[in-house]
Amino acid sequence: MTKAADEQTKGLKEQWEKTISQGKKLVEDVKSSVSLGRPEPNLFADIEAGKLAKYKDEAQYQKDRAESKYNDKVDDTADSAKATINKAEEALKQ
């Protein structure tokens, strides 16, 4: 009876082993396709680093823009002051 039971379960055992092997391969394929299986920093850290870089770039852009506006305003004020001084000098000469 044991021999008959072994014969009947032999096919099931082989099918089970094949299914386990296929399952492991699929897990590895999924890991490699989404980069979760790599030993380096994980995907989520990379995404957060990308967001941080984006915000840093945006902040730098805003800072540069504010500096430029400030410098333009200083230049305009200096030009206006110079023009006023020139007018005052011309008025005194007459």
What pLDDT score does 67 carry? 92
Percent of the chain surpassing pLDDT 70: 83
pTM above 0.85, yes or no: no
Phi-psi region of 20 (alpha: psi -120 to 50; beta: other; left: phi over 0): alpha
What pLDDT score does 3 carry? 72
Judge if 84 and 57 occupy the same domain.
yes
Judge if 3 and 14 occupy the same domain.
yes
52: nearest Cα among 68, 41, 39, 65 = 41
Judge if 12 and 54 occupy the same domain.
no
Split into its structural domains, the chain has a count of: 2
Domain that holds residue 93: 41-94
What pLDDT score does 20 carry? 86
Q: Identify the weakest region by mean pLDDT among 11-15, 16-20, 34-38, 77-81.
A: 34-38
Average predicted confidence (pLDDT) for the chain:
80
C-alpha to C-alpha distances, 6 to 1, 24, 54, 62, 69, nearest whole angstrom: 9, 26, 63, 75, 86
Judge if 72 and 88 occupy the same domain.
yes
The per-residue pLDDT for range 41-74, each reduced to its tens digit, is: 566 777 777 888 888 899 999 999 999 999 999 9
